[in-house]
């Protein structure tokens, strides 16, 4: 007698249903997607007991004929595809034809549907024995599907459902995701007969305000880039608008919500070191590309996606997000709240948009030919004045004939940086009055400088740290180390743990400019150091870098090069309390605003803040 048997259809359906219907949220997702595919303009969702007793989706879509209504509950019955070739170019949410069949196998289903050009509709429902009945009647145009007592016939699955609050949370998240993807559709959500969400049809921005908050657009940065191969649009959160988890990260591929580690990591890495460890950016991004270049048929839930050109998509999204971040003023402004309990309270306002011709996020110094002070510094002057700040902003190749999007064509070069820094200058500078070259060092810590909108305060240590960090990263890429030789090599003995770490990091340290020879018995000879390390402090600098590297490795688990660049920049930067001359401060500011992200240090601390002139006027009673 054969041991292998073909399972009855009712049992196989229940097994297969486990892949599609995992919880009430799965039912909501599948039915909402069917309503969208049916060209609905208005969709209503009714939930009772977190979907355990009732899930009902009502739409005004195309509706179904009697024949289609009977067929839709059959397994692998779909109107979305008809051939193998159609799988290569899927443009609808559904296509597998498993949703209604799986839902009907583990719950009681009632389908009411009527086409717009028909005078009579169809009612399909099943009973606890799994038998379906069909009736004719007059129903509202479109389709209404009610799912009752989910998992009534699979009690083990029902017992594994979470609390009502947890299940409802999952349902609401799915409802919001589909609502975001289709702002042109009106959505309503009822929970236990109470209207919870009412999203009117409108623009993408209006839908974001409905789903998140009325002032959400003040906390986000627009993203938009269109090419023949790939397009992306949406919004990313400003660094001040972060979360402690990844809950508010939405990626839509061809308007389908997906979970993509590739896209998420690409966006996250674009924020570089703007965010503190444990903070995650908010973003809602729509990626449009040829359906033939992706595979969404990875899992029945259709949440996973595979890309044909994953590296290209990663690089494209990363570059576009970085560009969007770079086009905004990320410097917080500092104001005072009104007196509360007779005490003034500081308040930091959110960064704002930097429009064309209004890059007031940096100091501008006098370049009038009549002035005795010149803002043009040669390499020799920089080396002589400020040995630790070298003009090496050369990683980006920029030519004079490139048209920069934020450059004012009416004005000439009004602030002279080293040649390699012209791109950053063109993006951030604009003419100011001839006497606006005020700059001073406060308590040997903070550089104060006049800007168009008021006063800018720069932390000299973290500013130098940002400069050295980017210089270190470029050194790793260029692989052309520059080292200043010591007249006499320094021989030091270190403990075995540091010796092993130094052996591991030696290739990277060489690229930074350290010339180190590992000797026997844990002895090390230092014959050269980077130009940013003060002569006489070579030994201390090396130990401090190793200690900082080990600390970052334990606490932050950084990649080796990034960790070493942060450790080097932190320990080689000028210290709080170091005196700077006026020219040194100007060079420091030049170098800072020629970096890719002059607003935060590699560890996420702010480098600059602004005090608006309006706030000063207010404090002196000029308003």
Q: Ranked by mean pLDDT, which of 449-458, 460-469, 481-490 comes out on top?
A: 460-469
As a whole number of angstroms, the distance between CA 175 and CA 258 comes to 14
Structural domains present in the chain: 9-203 (3.30.565.10), 212-326 (3.30.230.10), 333-463+578-619 (3.30.1540.20), 481-572 (3.30.1370.100)
Q: How far apart are CA 294 and CA 82, in angstroms?
A: 19
Q: Which residue has the tokens 């799915």?
A: 174
**H-helix segments, 479-526:** 496-512
Return the minimum-mean-pLDDT range out of 116-120, 300-304, 360-364, 427-431: 427-431
Q: Around Cβ 292, how many Cβ atoms within 10 Å? A: 11
125, 170 Cβ separation under 8 angstroms: no
Q: pLDDT tier at 414 (50, 70, 90 boundaries)?
A: very low
% of the chain at pLDDT higher than 70? 73
CA 281/CA 278 separation, integer angstroms: 10
Long-range Cβ contact pairs of 513-521 (< 8 A, separation 24 or more): 513/475, 513/481, 513/482, 513/483, 513/484, 514/483, 514/542, 515/483, 515/485, 516/542, 517/489, 519/491, 521/493
Instruction: Report the pLDDT value the prediction gives residue 360, as an integer from 0 to 100.
Output: 43
Inter-axis angle of helices 496-512 and 460-478, nearest 10: 80
Residue 229 phi, psi dihedral angles, 5° rounding: -90, -40
Evaluate if pTM is beyond 0.75: no
> What confidence score (pLDDT) does residue 557 get?
65
- The partner residues of 233 in beta bridges, in order of sequence, read 224, 286
**What tokens were used for 446?**
């903070």
Contact by Cβ (8 Å): 541, 529 = yes
Burial of 350 (0-12, 13-18, 19+ CB in 10 A): middle
Indicate the SS3 state at residue 456.
strand
pLDDT of residue 44: 97
Contact 514, 529 (CB under 8 A): yes
Which pLDDT score is estimated for 454? 83
- The answer, yes or no, to whether residue 301 has pLDDT greater than 60, is no
Assess whether pLDDT exceeds 60 at residue 403: no
Torsion angle defined by CA atoms of residues 448, 450, 456 and 457, in that order, rounded to the nearest 10 degrees? 0
Q: What is the pLDDT at residue 335? A: 61
Q: What is the 8-class DSSP label of residue 50?
A: G
Mean pLDDT calculated for residue range 446-472: 88
Query: Please, which residues bridge with residue 189 across strands?
Result: 45, 197
pLDDT band at 36, cuts 50/70/90? very high
| Percent of residues, the chain, with pLDDT higher than 90 | 25
Decide: 181 and 257 in contact? Cβ < 8 Å. Answer: yes
CA dihedral 531→534→537→541, nearest 10 degrees, is: -50
Residue 205 has pLDDT above 90, yes or no: yes
């Amino acid at each position: 007698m054969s041991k292998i048997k073909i399972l009855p259809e009712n049992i196989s359906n229940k097994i297969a249903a486990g892949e599609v219907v995992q919880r009430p949220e799965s039912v909501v997702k599948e039915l909402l997607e069917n309503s969208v595919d049916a060209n609905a303009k208005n969709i209503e969702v009714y939930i009772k007991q977190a979907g355990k007793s009732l899930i009902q989706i009502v739409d005004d879509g195309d509706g179904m004929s009697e024949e289609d209504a009977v067929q839709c509950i059959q397994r692998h019955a779909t109107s979305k595809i008809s051939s193998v070739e159609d799988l290569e170019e899927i443009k609808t949410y559904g296509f597998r034809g498993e949703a209604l069949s799986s839902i009907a196998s583990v719950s009681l289903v009632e389908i009411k549907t009527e086409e717009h050009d028909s005078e009579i509709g169809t009612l399909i429902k099943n009973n606890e024995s799994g038998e379906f009945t069909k009736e004719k009647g007059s129903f509202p145009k479109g389709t209404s599907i009610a799912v009752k007592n989910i998992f009534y016939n699979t009690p083990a699955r029902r017992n594994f459902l979470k609390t009502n609050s947890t299940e409802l949370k999952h349902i609401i998240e799915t409802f919001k995701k589909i609502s975001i993807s289709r702002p042109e559709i009106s959505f309503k959500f009822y929970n236990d007969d109470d209207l919870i969400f009412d999203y009117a049809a409108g623009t993408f921005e209006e839908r974001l305000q409905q789903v998140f908050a009325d002032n959400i657009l003040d906390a986000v940065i627009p993203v938009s880039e269109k090419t023949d191969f790939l397009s992306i649009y949406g919004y990313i959160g400003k660094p001040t608008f972060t979360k402690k988890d990844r809950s508010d990260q939405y990626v839509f591929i061809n308007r389908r919500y997906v979970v993509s580690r590739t896209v998420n990591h690409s966006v996250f890495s674009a924020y570089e070191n703007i965010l503190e460890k444990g903070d995650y950016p908010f973003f809602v991004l729509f990626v449009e590309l040829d359906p033939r270049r992706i595979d969404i048929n990875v899992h029945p839930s259709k949440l996973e996606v595979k890309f044909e050109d994953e590296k290209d998509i990663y690089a494209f999204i990363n570059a576009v997000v970085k560009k969007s971040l770079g086009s905004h003023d990320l410097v917080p402004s500092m104001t005072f709240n009104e007196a509360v309990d007779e005490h003034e309270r500081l308040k930091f306002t959110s960064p704002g948009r930097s429009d064309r011709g209004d890059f007031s996020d940096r100091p501008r110094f006098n370049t009038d030919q009549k002035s005795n002070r010149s803002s043009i510094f040669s390499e020799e002057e920089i080396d002589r004045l400020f040995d630790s700040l070298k003009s090496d902003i050369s990683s980006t190749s920029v030519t004079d004939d490139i048209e920069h999007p934020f450059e004012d064509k009416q004005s000439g070069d009004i602030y002279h940086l080293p040649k390699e820094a012209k791109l950053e200058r063109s993006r951030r500078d604009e003419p100011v009055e001839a006497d606006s070259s005020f700059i001073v060092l406060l308590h040997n810590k903070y550089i104060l400088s006049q800007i168009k909108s008021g006063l800018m305060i720069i932390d000299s240590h973290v500013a130098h740290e940002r400069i050295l960090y980017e210089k270190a990263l470029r050194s790793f890429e260029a692989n052309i180390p520059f080292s200043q030789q010591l007249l006499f090599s320094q021989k030091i003995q270190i403990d075995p743990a540091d010796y092993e770490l130094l052996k591991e990091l030696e290739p990277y340290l060489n690229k930074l400019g350290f010339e180190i020879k590992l000797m026997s018995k844990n002895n090390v000879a230092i014959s050269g150091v980077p130009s940013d390390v003060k002569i006489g402090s070579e030994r201390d600098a090396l130990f401090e870098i190793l200690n900082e590297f080990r600390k970052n490795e334990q606490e932050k688990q950084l990649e080796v090069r990034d960790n070493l660049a942060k450790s080097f920049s932190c320990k080689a930067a000028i210290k709080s309390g170091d005196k700077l001359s006026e020219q040194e401060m100007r060079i420091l500011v030049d170098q800072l605003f020629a970096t890719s992200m002059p607003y935060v240090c590699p560890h996420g601390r702010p480098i600059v803040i602004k005090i608006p002139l309006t706030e000063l006027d207010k404090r002196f009673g000029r308003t």
